[in-house]
Each structure stands twice: as C-alpha cells, then as structure tokens.
Amino acid sequence: MFESFIHKLRHGTSITLETTPSRSAQFAPTLEKIAALGLDALVDGFSTTDNPLAKLKYNALFAAMKLQDRFGKPVLATMSMRDRNRIALQSDLLGANEAEVRAILALTGDSAHYSDQPHAKGVFESNSNLLLDIITTLNGGTDLAEQPLIAPPMPIYPFAVIDSYSKNANALHKKMIKKVAHGAIGLVTQPVYDTTIAQQLLAMMEQSNAQNPERENCVLILGFFPITKLRTARFLDENVPGIHVPQAWVEALEKASLISVEEEYKVGFTLSKKLFEELKALHPKIHIMTANQFELAKEILS
C-alpha cells in the first residue's frame, strides 16, 4: 500500500484529504460520512490530525488505522511533539507499525495554552525534527539509545509541514532545507492561495533537495483549504502565521457578502475551485483541508 503510494507521490499525481477526529470515543461517524459521499474513490489517501490547537480529540493513530482498514488507502497520521517525550514517540511508532500505520506527519504542535483541558502542559522535548530523527533511527533497526530492536519495524515514511508564505523567504528556505536534512520525504505546505507563491515554493524545494544530495528527493505537497466566507479569509490572512490570502480574494468576498450569504459562498467557492484546478495543473500533489466539511471537499473534487 505505502510503497505504491510513495511511488505515485514521487512520479505521478497525489490527492490526499485531511480528517479531524472529533471529541468522541467513536470515529465511525466520520468513516460513514466519507463512504456515503464516495470521497474515498476521489482521493489517493487521507490524513488524521493530532489534537489540533491542543483540543482533545480521538487519537490520530487509531483513526489512521480505522481509515486504512475501511478504505484500503494510506493515511498520513499526524504526531505532535507537544504531547509526547522521546519514549512515548518511539513506543507509539512501534505499536502503530504493526497496525500498518507507517506514514507519519511530524508536527511540533500548537501551544498547550490553547487547550480545552485545564492545567494541560506541553511536553515539547524538542521540535518536529527530533521525530524525523527518531523515524530514521527506528528504520535503521535501533532505538534512540542505539539499542537494537528485537524485531525491526516495517519502513516508516516521515512527512513534515512547512509554511506556504513568509516575508523572509530566506528563513523559510532554511527551514525547508533543515527538514529535508532530517529525513522528510514529503513536505505539506500551509494552504496556498496564489500560483506565484506555489512556484516559489517549488523552486525552494528543488534547491533544498540539491543541498541534500545524499537523500532521495523530498516531494512538495501543496496545501489547499477552500475559502467560502469573508471572515475565514480575513482570519487566515491576519492571524495564522505562514499563510497569505491575496487582497483580491478578500475584496471579492467582501463585495459578495454585502449581497447575500449565498453569493458570498458562490464567489468563495468559484475562487477556490479555480485555484484548485490551477494548482493541480502546476503540481498535481495536493493535500486538501476542509475542517471536516466533506461535502465541500466533494464539490471541489467533482
């Protein structure tokens, strides 16, 4: 499953869809919604988020296992450094490995300051580069203490994330180089809203790979988050680091919002759909994020 997915990612097209488990002891409703919409037939794989904004959710590794078992497609399971030290990280990776959860999206994680759990504290033993190093070590058959594993894992495939925009392009490029050096085979960007920015990121990725010639080329995966509301466009542009929403989008949504909610949605969807097609033509390796608005994902993909 994973070997063919990685080959397709490197040499063909790849469309993946993010899922966010809910604050529930059941992930089944999410599976049923995806199945009812036939989304599994429209994508090459999925991802699961790991307690985003430090809000309690169903476990990302178990959700990944459920998705794979149900649809037979690979899942990028997010693991956050916020909630685990190096012992827990290695332990989770070993357990997940036998369950065939072998594509890991390494995140440092949002601050525990945002948590809905009173007195929650972040672990943050290091940033996501440590998790990438752990995966490299486990793939070599030992743990971080250089002790051999009794049974080595099946190959684990490390992915990481990267901002899609920065006023300091050089700083963004350095982060990209570092993640490649630590072993990431794929970098998922924050949402991209401009093909010019996408082209700049692709050029950075090519240069980053050139500076790590001993490693197989890392693949850039363009993040895509459709915007159908003016307040979403403003929030992302003003409050989320690493994302830039063009002023033209904000102005178009602002004008439409004065007409009606329906017109606002129509204009936002049209802009988003057009962007998706342009990104797919430019670089058909895209990760779709819709905050579990799976009907919207189907509209974009149909």
Ordered by where they begin, the domains of the chain are 2-301 (3.20.20.220)
CA 296 to chain centre: 18
The pLDDT of residue 212 is above 90: no
Mean of pLDDT values over 142-167: 96
Name 18's bridge partners: 47
Residue found by looking up tokens 């149909």 in the block: 302
Residue found by looking up tokens 């009606």 in the block: 260
The token pair at 90 is 């290695």
Measured between alpha carbons, how far apart are the two ends of the chain, in Å? 25
Average pLDDT of the chain?
Answer: 96
Range of lowest pLDDT (182-186, 190-194, 240-244): 240-244
The string of pLDDT tens digits covering residues 31-88 is: 999 999 999 999 999 999 999 999 999 999 999 999 999 999 999 999 999 999 999 9
Report the sign of the C-alpha dihedral through residues 256, 257, 263, 269, in that order.
positive
pLDDT at position 215 is 84
Write 202-211 long-range contacts (CB < 8 A, 24+).
202/282, 202/283, 204/169, 204/172, 204/173, 204/176, 205/176, 207/173, 208/173, 208/176, 208/177, 208/180, 209/180, 211/177, 211/180
* CB-based contact 276:227 (threshold 8 Å): no
Residue found by looking up tokens 């672990």 in the block: 123
Indicate the pairing of strand 285-288 with strand 219-224: parallel
The pLDDT of residue 135 is above 90: yes
pLDDT at position 113 is 87
Q: Which amino acid is at 196?
A: T
